[in-house]
Structure 1
Amino acid sequence: MAAPGYGKQSAPEQLPRSAADFSHLPAREAYLASIIDHLPDGAAMDVKTLAVLQPHYGQMACRTALNRLSAAGHLRRVRERITAKDCRWVFRTYFSRTPRSDAWWARVLTTGETSTPAAPDPPDERTRNRTPLPSAAYAALAGLGHADPRLALSATDCTALEPLAAEWLARGATPALFAAALTAGLPPDVHSPAALTRHRLLDKMPPERPPQPDHPARVLECTACRAPCRPHALLGGLCRACRSGTPTPPTPPAPPPPRSRLSPATVRAHAARAREAMVTSPRL
């Protein structure tokens, strides 16, 4: 098994297993796809693990087979954030025994939509043909009378003040904070609870929430080189460089400047002058 949160992830909308699931694939790819299909969710399925799980193919063969399974529509590599508030990322490989198109993978992995949405649950017999439940804003206004009888509001008052109370809740106020803010410091006698509540709803309105940065929760990767890519840039799960099979080679370093060369005659002349200087120089 891979580390928690990593490893294989089964894709949705898969057909039941059958003997012909991978008959359209070459023998090596069909054999490895059958092994991956029977792995549980969360199992490691990197090339090293696949090479250990079976005795026939090594790491390079498993790597090539994974790329071909991606091109055939059986798998996609994805990096995902753990939660919307957690910046940590996990790396998963989504596998489908049913081959899927690039458009299907892009729709399911980026938006989570499937082609067959689940049917809604049938209505409960106890709630059928009854009045709808009040909104959270209406319930918060109606609860003010329980928090302090001086702010007891009628049904008409709650309906009229409901938009202002809804704005409070939209800005992050909980029902408890809502009641505490509106009932704090009330005068001894309140002659018009609705007018006082409206005044306090406007004057004590909490600030708007700052906009949250829109970070993608899921990024698709190239199956071969693991580079993050946009969905439309992946064909068969492979980026353009990996599809061409000729990734751009690194730029070679510049050669060193050539050394200056002397002709053999010049070298002999320098050697002769050096010997003559050694013979004629006075000895100490």
Structure 2
Amino acid sequence: MANTGYGKRHAGDEDPHADPDFAHLLPRDAEIAVFIDHLDTGHAMGHKVLAVEHPRYGQQAMRTSLTRITEAGHLRWIKEHITVEDGTMRWVTRTYWSRTRRSAEWWARFARERHGKDVTRDHQPGLARVEEQPAAVETPAEQPAVPDEPEPESAAYRVLTGLCAADPRMPLSDGDCRSLEPLTEEWLSRGATPKDITRALTEGLPPEVGNPGGFARRRLETKMPPQKKEPRAKVTRAIMACATCDQDERTVKIDRGICEDCRRENEAAPMSDEDVIKGFEEIAHLGTTSAYFLRKKLERSTGGPVPDTFRPVPIEDRVFYHYRDNRDRIANGLPPRRWK
């Protein structure tokens, strides 16, 4: 997950899931698009993080596919200038995702509509509050009732049930935990951590606690931290940023979410088979030549040849790392760099 307020964010107003959602993309890009679509809101969207999470593709493949998915209209990086109520200002880069394919004009209008939005942070990771009312969903009367699933235990309930493990003198029953849950949630909403609550309820206990539930209630009420009012923050400017190099409209021209320099690099003609073979031959020749001259230089300094078994690292290995980068570039279809 990304830091609070960052990460994957839905652009909204999407069509329902369907098989041809990403049929217009190449097979690898479509697979990665489905993968991104199923990520939780607030998930980090950098190509390195996604490559670690994805079981099939590495960083370079993820970076290339993210570029194509952006150009297809599903993804945008937007830099928003945030002005806080206390007078501070900052730029944040937000990643907006749309399962429905959008045009460049739609994304431009979406960025303009971000102006003036209230984005005061809340306590959930990756989210930012926006003063917009969600559309009400009507449930048909003839729809059969679905049995309610048991609600998962809240963070406040888990804090209370863990008190006995922190101190055996505070064994709370299920009824105690349920009745004290609202007070504990109020602590959490005011910025207290579970450790803070546990410490407040277990520090300085008497030798015996006759009524752990009443004792915990008294401490939760009397030691309640003050209410912290978070300053409101609004978007005062929103500009498009390149999905590849993170430059924005202030310095480069952004077309379909990608700047011109990155587009030229992505559209560069791949190396032919002859170029790949020639590049490997050149790297092998340079490596052999450099190793030969380095070996001769060391032999002159030592007065004669020294077997590799007496060296900490063989000569060829000492030279090889200089050409490892070019070997990887050629293997990925990129032209080699010229070494001085």
- TM bin (shorter chain): 0.3 to 0.5
Q: TM-score, normalised by structure 1?
A: 0.48
Indicate the structure (1 or 2) with the bigger Cα radius of gyration. Answer: 1
